[in-house]
Amino acid sequence: MASKIHNELKTVRDVIRYAVSRFNDAQLAFGHGSDNAWDEAVYLVLSTLHLPLDTLDPFLDARLLDDEKKKCISLIELRVKKRVPLAYLTGEAWLQGQRFLVDKRVIVPRSPISELLAEQLEPWIDEPDSVQDVLDLCTGSGCLAILAALAFPNAHVDAVDLSDHAVRLAQRNVEMYKLQAQVNVLQGDLYAPLEGRRYDVIVCNPPYVNSTAMAQLPSEYQQEPVLALAGGDDGMDIVRHILDQACVHLKDDGFIILEIGNEYENFINAFPTLNPVFLETAHSDDSLLLLTREQLQTR
């Protein structure tokens, strides 16, 4: 059967069509860089063939070599049968037009905080060149730290993660962007390696998925590190620690931007005296919030 499929697929168009059919039939869960079978199929095939990711038409009817077909089909089957997120199959993920190295030991880059960084946190930052110190907690692949460095070229950026592997991968990404002089990647538990450091801005995509939701995650998401997702019974275990200590590490007019995903109600229940600003993104108006140092001091 496999050889018959292999023989029937001749062109890039054929392989993409086959991938779309397989993905739809398997009812895959998307959300690690794409939200539909077509986009995921196109990305898988173009990436595997080392073709430009933004140029499809000239290559649609190009015939594939046998080895190229085998590699594409192998990845399609892994995506379907093992439910491996595409980023783990290709070893890379894209966020705000920037490429990041990833593997199964870090969460796939997708935080909507990236949208705000692409706009230099306007209107919360009036003068991007004046930002001097930024912290990215729970940095994972280092994607938000790197985007922050690109958004605020005069800023020093610290990136912290508990995972040794995440720290090593983040360092590779920092080196890929040649930002070693601007971005410092540190291993440690939240603020532990940052004694005495204060920041204009803290960004954080922490583990926040509540225990009930964790048990119901699609297979693709269950392949990501539990350490990067699980936030305890109400999803707020790590968030509590982050907010409890944030004042110590924020400058007087500083603020924190925190991702809480679908945990709006759990956040409100856990922090009834806080009145954060919820920040609108392309797909949500309650998954990101902003709190100033002043707000955190008076809670």
CATH of the domain at 64: 1.10.8
| pLDDT surpasses 70 at 261 | yes
Question: pLDDT by residue (tens digit) across 141-165?
Answer: 999 999 999 999 999 999 999 999 9
Are both 267 and 225 inside the same structural domain?
A: yes
Pairing of strands 277-279, 288-292: antiparallel
Report how far residue 102's alpha carbon sits from residue 57's, in angstroms, rounded to the nearest whole number.
28
- How far is it between the farthest Cα atoms of the chain? 68
**Residue 96 placed within a domain:** no
Residue-number span of the structural domain to which 68 is assigned: 2-90
Rounded to an integer, the average pLDDT of 85-102 is 95
**Residue 130 placed within a domain:** yes
In sequence order, the 6+-apart residues with CB closer than 8 A to the CB of 5 are 18, 73
**Residue 277 placed within a domain:** yes
Report how far residue 235's alpha carbon sits from residue 61's, in angstroms, rounded to the nearest whole number.
48
Catalogue the E-assigned strands of the chain: 92-95, 98-101, 133-137, 156-161, 183-187, 199-204, 250-259, 277-279, 288-292
Report how far residue 140's alpha carbon sits from residue 29's, in angstroms, rounded to the nearest whole number.
22
Rounded to two decimals, what is the model's pTM?
A: 0.94
Question: pLDDT by residue (tens digit) across 31-87?
Answer: 888 899 999 999 999 999 999 988 888 999 999 999 999 999 999 999 999 999 999
The residue ranking higher by pLDDT, 299 or 264, is: 264
Which of the listed residues 90, 116, 144 is the one where a domain comes to its end? 90
Are both 72 and 116 inside the same structural domain?
A: no
**Predicted pLDDT at 7:** 77
